[in-house]
Chain A
């Protein structure tokens, strides 16, 4: 019994030992593919659409015989915390991780991630390492583009009357009290709305330059003077759930998320989407491979597959996400292309991080 126990412990210790010593930069693509097939398995941390992604990675599993494990990750922040917390560990749990573009501002990417991986990918020249205005220096590769906008109940709102400018919005709220709802945490759709209303109230246009954070009192006043005419929701999903059940007429939402919910009939197809002229932020997610990933070759092969033109076209069809590969087809989307001009950036001018915490303190808690 004791001997059995000792051999198993030893075997475990060996398996958990230092990651296999090979250098991806020195290997040819074919060697990487062979190595990946030998590893046979990988774990991808992605914090949204896990059930859908488990279906979407099937072609990869069939093509290479490599199993993709997608655990249920509680949130993007939690996933990021885990990577940071375990950076000092010799072998981690994560082979490849999806992160919002802005996470790059909070991490020393060179210290935490393997790379640069972008030049190693076969389709590198059609891909980008920039997302949400953050340059990932090749350590993260963009695989997902998405857009926040406003979702509305088309049965009860005439598209002609949808608010487009701040003045429209003010009038609309006045005419439809408590028919607008948005979240301030648990997802970025509400924060995007708050951020862009703030820019409009402050008169900051997309091409202006903001050197220091202006006084936000006028922004807080704008919201506080209307506080009994809009509703605060708990999350991205809560906004859409309550829009679907008829409680609100219009809520901020992510285009890809709404697309996915409509496709599965979790939200009715009378819910439609537009990007108003006052602007809503566009988002982008990257994938990166932690330095202590146990199966680096499989992770890199997966990154190549995920960002390939073929996969990006397929993802666009399933999720309505904006392809990150310039050779991919992007004809599936909820909004016509001319509205894309209203897409804004999270970080500049005036970052959302300069607006949202103050909003929570001075509007939500007021």
Chain B
């Protein structure tokens, strides 16, 4: 470790600035969400006249927030499982096999990441419209799986490439069935990658707005679409603050778990080569 007063001072300063940078917006949102419904907070009051959690329970009881949460939190794990399962064979090919045009395929799988979200959403909706397909829930699920598949493929390709061929060979030589080989040689190495891929698809599905908004229009709600409705057409600041905080808090917790997983999934840790 290098010690230089310049670094310490600069980083201390930056940390202080960033704390303010995060604390002020979240503090304001919290304050707005606590405005008691019995007294408005309007100009020229600097602070709300009365604080309570009343608005939180009001939003919960009188909006479709519970339905939106159910939709989001049931779509996300299904999208996660679906994406991981569908990504496995491709990731195996990318991670463990050499074949012609591999680099091209590896690039092509990233197409959903560079296609603007609203283009995908609107013209997927147009396709569904022509097909006369009106079930929004499965449509959004399929959309999320495909749009988030590249993440799962990338993460799992790395995991597959970390599986040691000598362990696989040893298991085979000992007469293990293909299933046992997978269980003994592959699974332990893949596990952190599978969790990480699942979690990243889960988080991105919870956050996904364009597809849920366009395909789900006008009445299928997820947490981001209900948030958008309170930020856009029905912009009422205290209500928007409640929904925003409900969306962000579980996300932060999940991301912290993901961060842990990705650290434990680091190559050196898995392969024992470190």
Contacts and interface: CB of A to CB of B under 8 A. Distances in A.
Given A234-B235, A266-B236, A74 B42 contact: no
Contacts of B221: 71-72
Given A89-B134, A187-B233, A235-B235, A74 B40 contact: no
Contacts of B236: 237, 241, 261, 266
B219 A246 contact: no
B271 interface: no
Interface stretch (B4-12, B224-232, B252-260): B224-232
Interface in A85-121: 85-86, 88-89, 93
Interface stretch (A75-83, A192-200, A210-218, A281-289): A75-83
B40 A54 contact: no
Given A89-B132, A266-B239, A75 B233 contact: yes
B19 interface: no
A186 B40 contact: no
A74 B238 contact: no
Contacts of B62: 51-52, 54-55
B217 interface: yes
Contacts of B36: 265
B233 A82 contact: no
B272 interface: no
Given A79-B218, A81-B217, A265 B233 contact: no
Interface string B55-74: 00000001110001000000
B273 to A, nearest CB: 45
Contacts of A241: 235-237
Nearest to A74: B218
Given A71-B64, A85-B129, A86-B134, A186 B218 contact: no
B274 interface: no
Contacts of A55: 62
B263 interface: no
A264 B233 contact: no
Interface in B25-56: 36-40, 42-44
Nearest to A266: B236
A42 to B, nearest CB: 14
Interface stretch (A172-180, A267-275, A320-328, A330-338): A267-275
B39 to A, nearest CB: 6
Nearest to A91: B134
Interface in A3-52: 45, 47, 50-52
B63 A72 contact: yes
A245 interface: yes
B247 to A, nearest CB: 15
Interface string B128-171: 01001010000000000000000000000000000000000000
How would you classify the secondary structure of chain B's contact residues: helix, strand, loop or mixed?
loop
A235 B42 contact: no
Contacts of B218: 45, 47, 73-75, 78-79, 81-82
B134 A234 contact: no
Contacts of B237: 241, 245
Contact of A234 (B37, B213, B226, B232): B232
Contacts of B235: 234-235, 237-238, 241
B70 to A, nearest CB: 13
B233 A186 contact: yes
B129 A74 contact: no
Contacts of B43: 153, 244-246
Nearest to B236: A266
Given A72-B64, A74-B225, A78-B218, A186 B37 contact: no
Contacts of A153: 43
A266 B40 contact: yes
B234 interface: yes
Contact of A72 (B44, B219, B232, B239): B219
Interface in A247-261: 261
A203 B236 CA distance: 37
Given A74-B225, A74-B233, A268 B40 contact: yes
A78 B238 contact: no
A237 B134 contact: no
A50 B217 contact: no
Given A74-B225, A246-B43, A265-B39, A93 B64 contact: no
Nearest to A45: B219
A82 B217 contact: yes
A71 B222 CA distance: 12
A340 to B, nearest CB: 27
B32 to A, nearest CB: 11
A186 B228 CA distance: 13
A265 B40 contact: yes
B169 to A, nearest CB: 38
Nearest to A92: B134
Nearest to B64: A72
A244 B63 contact: no
B246 to A, nearest CB: 15
B59 to A, nearest CB: 8
A187 B232 CA distance: 11
B238 A72 contact: no
A269 B41 CA distance: 11
Interface of A: 45, 47, 50-52, 54-55, 71-75, 78-79, 81-82, 85-86, 88-89, 93, 153, 186-187, 234-235, 237-238, 241, 244-246, 261-262, 264-271
16 contacts: A45-B218, A51-B62, A71-B220, A71-B221, A74-B213, A74-B229, A93-B134, A186-B232, A186-B233, A235-B233, A244-B42, A246-B43, A261-B236, A264-B37, A266-B236, A271-B42
Interface of B: 36-40, 42-44, 62-64, 68, 129, 132, 134, 213, 217-221, 225-226, 229, 232-239
Would you list the 7 A-B pairs with minimal beta carbon distance, nearest first?
A: A246-B43, A78-B218, A71-B219, A268-B42, A51-B62, A268-B40, A265-B40
